[in-house]
Amino acid sequence: MIIPKFTIGWLLSALCVCSSLTAAEPAWQPLFNSRDLSGWSTWLAAPHVSVDLPGEPRNEKGAYTAPLGAGRDPLDVFTVVPVDGQPAIRISGQVFGELRTAGSFSNYHLRLQFKWGDKKWPPREKFATPRDSGLLYHVHAAPGAEGRTWARSIELQIQERDVGDLYAIGSRISVRSTVRPGEKPVFDYDPAGAWNVFSQVPGAVGRCVKSPDNEKPSGEWNTVELICLGEDSIHIVNGKVVMRLHGPQRIDGPAPAPVTAGPLILQSEGAEIFYRAIEIRPITTVPAEFAEK
């Protein structure tokens, strides 16, 4: 069959356009506008007994009996402040709780920067207790649902010396890993290891330890990236892949079911932490620098 010349030209033009579109990477979109917490919601659990909040209900032992809830932040746990010459979200950590995106996301590349502050609060105020926060993704429960402090999700742990660990919070996911010798099973990420299933529920192991440890010393800014594409996710710390995960499932229904989308959460968990440069972009393939070799 003879193809008319104008058709050949159109095809060549179309191929050039497609090639150009393929080569161009989607633009990064900010999740933090550097001014306020627009696009995020807050929820706080019941404060520690040491917190002074007149008017909040307590029991006979002085313990608070109800969460502060959604949109109530009398202690300014979540604020925007200047740090090192740039705006940052300050999470004081004084009350356990969450800062949650209004949007739900799937098939994305997320990146953010964090650094630890100085303050620590009961019950995690002791010198030896590591500073703690966390990035929760594939969130699939409302704030405080089922009486939980942390919504059902997959967690990319942000804790001193543990940045990049997995916690499968009321969910389930698989990671290639190997178990350390010992009575209490501890699993380390191992790209050559067998697939093991993790779930933070009674009778199961919910944590997998990242490898390698690529966190900078406390007080320096770290970059954390998260790639989620279909049933795969990748934890990245300061440009280094520290864990690859597969097959996230929700387990709050009659049978386990895939969960590959949801809001994002930054945790308030007893320590002061600053977040900045939070941005996201859609993806259809894993970026070349993080693809498996």
The DSSP code sequence of the chain is: -PPPHHHHHHHHHHHHHHHHHHHSPPPPEES--SSS-TTEEEEE-PPPTT---TTS-B-TTS-B-S--EET--TT--EEEEEETTEEEEEE--SS-EEEEESS-B-SEEEEEEEEEEEEE-TTS-STTSPPEEEEEES--S-TTGGG-SS-SEEEEEEETT-TT-EEEETEEEEEEEEEPSSSS--EEE-TTSEEEEE-BSTTS--EEB-SS--PPPTTS-EEEEEEEETTEEEEEETTEEEEEEEEEEE-SSSS-EE---B--EEEE-SEEEEEEEEEEEE-SS--GGGS--
Average pLDDT score over residue span 216-240: 97
User: How confident is residue 293, by pLDDT bands cut at 50, 70 and 90?
Assistant: confident
13 falls within a domain:
no
Q: Quick check: is 21 in a domain?
A: no
Domain that holds residue 201: 26-290
CATH code at position 81: 2.60.120.560
**Residue 70 clears pLDDT 80, i.e. is over it:** yes
Q: Considering the entire predicted model, what is its pTM?
A: 0.91
**Residue 14 falls inside a structural domain:** no
How large is the average pLDDT for residues 188-216? 97
User: Is 5 part of a structural domain of the chain?
Assistant: no
Q: Specify if 60 maps to a domain.
A: yes
pLDDT, one tens digit per residue, over 160-195 is 999 999 999 999 999 999 999 888 899 999 999 999
**Percent above pLDDT 70 for the chain:** 92
Residue 291 has pLDDT above 60, yes or no: yes
Residue 23: per-residue pLDDT: 52
How many independent structural domains does the chain possess?
Answer: 1
**Position 216 in a domain:** yes
State how far Cα 22 lies from the chain centre: 28
4 is a domain residue: no
Whether 15 shows a pLDDT value over 90: the answer reads: no
d(CA 262, CA 241): 22
For residue 130, pLDDT over 50 is answered with yes
Quote the percentage of the chain above a pLDDT of 90. Answer: 89
Residue 129 inside a domain? The answer is yes
